[in-house]
Structure 1
Amino acid sequence: MMELMIDAHGVIRCLYDETLLLNSLGSPVIQRASHVEPTAEGQWEADLSPVSGPRLGPFSRRSAALAAETVWLQQNWLLSDTME
């Protein structure tokens, strides 16, 4: 489920997926919130530094890193009072 957060000025914030074509709401500005990358040891980390967040992991599976990334973004960025 794609959640859209709309501030008092009509600015929409969301975690991108292909559920909704964002250009149907206007001209989207899409920015990377994180990087999920493998480590030298074959583990996975989610680096949330693009939104001033932490580095999560390591995880043995990429899917676990992606899930942790999503949870962190939903709890700490999507509902944030300040737009990055």
Structure 2
Amino acid sequence: MSESVFLAPLEHRNNPLNKQEKNKYKRIVIYFTSIILLFSIVGFSFSITYEYAIYTSSAIICILIMIILEIGKKIIKLRGGIKT
């Protein structure tokens, strides 16, 4: 979950974010990540909410994978693409 704080926010190359916007969105990510982490920890403690906690955790993992892939895509584009 901590990766989302370091990797967010992603910005579009034609519409970059200024420093104030980056800090604002980073703060939002920290709040949402904290809430979801708290929900997951509490959810794993009770049998009724156990499945919801698993779904929430797997959704966060999928989102982080997409963010990492997007960053990798940007790096590949900056280096001139994949050469075969």
Q: Give the TM-score normalised by structure 2.
A: 0.30
Structure with the higher strand share, 1 or 2: 1
Higher helix share: 2
Structure with bigger RCO (C-alpha 8 Å, 6+ apart): 2
